[in-house]
Amino acid sequence: MNSQTVSAEGKGSIDVQLTPDEALALTGVEFNGNHKIKSDAQRKIRNAFEKTFDFNSTPK
């Protein structure tokens, strides 16, 4: 599995576990017959952000 660390304006980082196919799909590689790969990777990233950062709070 691959790991991707993302910083959000210096507030820290998150780790997202992606399969090699998911990582490739996020770079623009298309998998004929299986469009679910990219949406699964995007969902993993979105869920990790929601768990890590409170987007409803006002910035300090």
pLDDT of residue 59: 58
pTM over 0.95: no
pLDDT of residue 13: 80
pLDDT of residue 7: 46
Residues 20/37, Cβ–Cβ less than 8 Å: no
Residue 60 lies in a domain: no
Residue 57 lies in a domain: no
Buried b (16+ CB within 10 A) or exposed e, 7-34: eeeeeeebebebeebbbbbeeeeeeeee
Collect all residues with Cβ–Cβ distance below 8 Å to 31 and sequence separation of at least 6: 21, 25, 37, 38
CB atoms within 10 A of CB 38: 19
Residue 20 lies in a domain: yes
Q: What is the pLDDT along the chain (60 residues), one digit of tens a residue?
A: 555 554 445 567 888 999 999 999 999 999 988 889 999 999 999 999 888 876 666 555
Range of 36's domain?
Answer: 2-52
